A and B are shown apart, each in its own frame.
Chain A
Amino acid sequence: MRSISSFLSGLSLGRRAVGLILPLLLLLGWQYMSTRGASFAYAFSSVSQMQDALRELITSGDLQLNLAASLQRALTGLAIGGTFGLLLGISMASSRLIDTSVGPLYHILRQVPLMGLVPVFSLWLGNGDTAKLFIVCLSAFFPLVLATYESLRQVDSKFLEVGNVLKLSRAQQFRHILLPAALPNIFTGVSFALAMAWLSTIGSEILFNAGAGLGNLMMNAEMNARMDILVVVTILIGIVGYLLTFVLYRITAYLFRWRKTSSE
């Protein structure tokens, strides 16, 4: 996010126009491949075909249906997995007992690639929405535990000393000092968890080929060799992912506008 905006602001208009050369070349090359005959048109659908595909997807309502399903899955997963992640992170940071007993297990389980768990969950939970949601929850859960834990542990000891001087109870210390100090960093963790949730939503939809979702739409298009639909949906996934991060970034910037942005 940062590198893009700093990149755009640092360039003159002419320089920015130079950046369009490569995408245009890519587009022309693609278009050229699509006119080279039937065997190429199979994989390289022309730009007009993609426009048609987009129109077709919108008028039939397929796009809206699947987009809504994917978004809902990602956000529900973030809400559920994120809440548990937050709670575990807080308890690990505030209790030595929980930290030493649960911590190692957490770090072991974190290493397993989530997509590798798909076969296990499909045997346990079936191929439906439950299994997909579970994977999305986990993908949001793991990064947020770590982010919460580390952010709370990294609160400046000066703040805690003030709390000691004021003789705050542990709950007061947490409510009035630890949480406000750690919250901005925790929110960066949330944006990371959101990106992971979106990614694993698409991944799980591709791997569990049942139900609604952008991933399922793509797999169906792949089976029917509809490259036009595939390209449209892939680009859409990128845009939605970017927008989700962007919206959260703006919300964070608004919520923590009282804070110096020195950490960036």
Chain B
Amino acid sequence: MSIGIRAAIGLNRVAGRVNYRQLKLAAFISPVLLLLVWGWISHLQLISPQLLASPLEVASTFQELLTSGELQEHLGKSLSRLVLGYSLGASAGLLFGILMALSKNVEALCAPLFHAIRQIPTIALIPVFILLLGVDESFKIAIVIKASFFTVALAAFEATRGVSVNYLEVARVYRLPWTTLYGKVIIPAIFPPVLTGLRIAFARSWTVLVAAELLVADSGLGQMMQMGRDMFRLDIVLVGVVLTGLIGFCIDRSFKWGEAHLVRWRVA
């Protein structure tokens, strides 16, 4: 990946000479300011309260949904779909990507179809999947599988391809058995880029699952937001928006933490 793409998806962080303690405090300024302006505008009631719920209202709606147990149900549904689809898609993608990079025959057989289907945005496949699989669980899980499989497969493919020939030559000189070759050379070498692929695949899966739930679902965070939209309950919608953002943010951060800490041997 070139620097531009890495930058666009937030891989390249420049560590400048910054006073971090100062920065940490300053980081709260703009979010708090946004909350204050939001609260102030909704207090003025320039816009009808149905269209702009105040932050306090959103918080109380959150509490309400939490005590009624509605929120936990929707959240659980969404997350279980995500986890099931993502684990299936990502593990299959990982194996397929490595296999395609190692075997010329597999590549010749599968690569054209793989690259062709990869070009189709997952979200554009939603209507096709609905017709093929109906609007049940299988459709949502299939969408998540599609989103995660291709991203992870491509990352694993390019990572395995990118393993330096030098490593393999050294391994050959030392006559390493293939278990050691995989365990100590190839897997550690492809681990960092694959982890990045896993993170991007996760973000895509989450977005596309929310979109699918917005469109057709009987449960899930997306459906809760859609219901809020239909009932003109912006507070419910905003609870959903904040939660989806928060979940995406937390998991993204934990992947990034993994990229920074699990790959200790890598000199940045």
Report A's interface with B, CB cutoff 8 A: 3-4, 7, 11, 15-16, 18-23, 26, 43, 100-105, 108-109, 111-120, 122-124, 143-144, 146-147, 149-151, 153-154, 184-189, 191-193, 198-199, 202-203, 206-207, 214-215, 218-219, 221-222, 225, 227, 230-231, 234-235, 237-239, 241-242, 263-264
Contact = CB atoms under 8 A, between A and B. Distances in A.
A30 to B, nearest CB: 11
Contacts of A26: 113
B124 A111 contact: no
B207 A104 contact: no
Given A4-B115, A115-B214, A122 B5 contact: no
A7 B107 contact: yes
Q: Would you call the interface of chain B mostly helix, strand, loop, or mixed?
A: helix
B12 interface: yes
Best-surrounded residue of A3, A187, A214 (most CB of chain B within 10 A)? A3
B31 A203 contact: no
30 contacts: A18-B105, A19-B113, A21-B109, A23-B116, A43-B131, A112-B241, A112-B244, A112-B245, A113-B210, A115-B210, A116-B214, A118-B214, A119-B228, A123-B51, A146-B8, A146-B10, A147-B7, A150-B13, A151-B7, A184-B4, A185-B3, A188-B8, A192-B9, A203-B124, A221-B127, A230-B127, A230-B131, A234-B124, A238-B116, A241-B121
Nearest to B236: A119
Best-surrounded residue of A109, A112, A214 (most CB of chain B within 10 A)? A112
B252 interface: yes
Contact of B5 (A19, A154, A192, A206): A192
A144 B157 CA distance: 27
B229 A114 contact: no
B51 A124 contact: yes
Nearest to B34: A105
A229 B210 CA distance: 25
Interface stretch (B21-29, B64-72, B188-196): B21-29
Interface string B246-266: 101100100000000000000
B108 interface: yes
A188 B7 CA distance: 9
B82 to A, nearest CB: 12
A100 B23 contact: yes
B215 A207 contact: yes
B234 A189 contact: no
Interface residues of B, number: 75
Contacts of B23: 100
Nearest to B50: A123
Interface string B30-72: 1100100000000000000011000000000000000000000
Contacts of B203: 113
A113 B244 contact: yes
Nearest to A19: B112
Interface of B: 2-5, 7-10, 12-14, 16, 23, 26-31, 34, 50-51, 104-105, 107-113, 115-117, 119-121, 123-128, 130-132, 154, 157-158, 203, 206-208, 210-211, 214-215, 221-222, 225-226, 228-229, 232, 234, 237-238, 240-241, 244-246, 248-249, 252
Contacts of B241: 112, 116-117, 119-120
Given A7-B115, A116-B222, A153-B14, A202 B30 contact: no
Nearest to A195: B121
Contacts of B119: 238-239, 241-242
Nearest to B158: A3
Given A111-B248, A112-B241, A238-B120, A188 B9 contact: no
Contacts of B117: 238
B45 to A, nearest CB: 16
A144 to B, nearest CB: 8
A122 B229 CA distance: 8
Nearest to A89: B7
A123 B229 contact: yes
A235 B3 contact: no
A202 B121 contact: yes
Contacts of A3: 115, 154, 157-158
A19 B31 contact: no
Nearest to A203: B123
A153 B120 CA distance: 33
Nearest to A149: B7
Given A100-B23, A143-B8, A263 B3 contact: yes
Contact of B28 (A104, A218, A219): A104
B3 A188 contact: yes
Contacts of A114: 207
B27 to A, nearest CB: 4
A18 B17 CA distance: 54
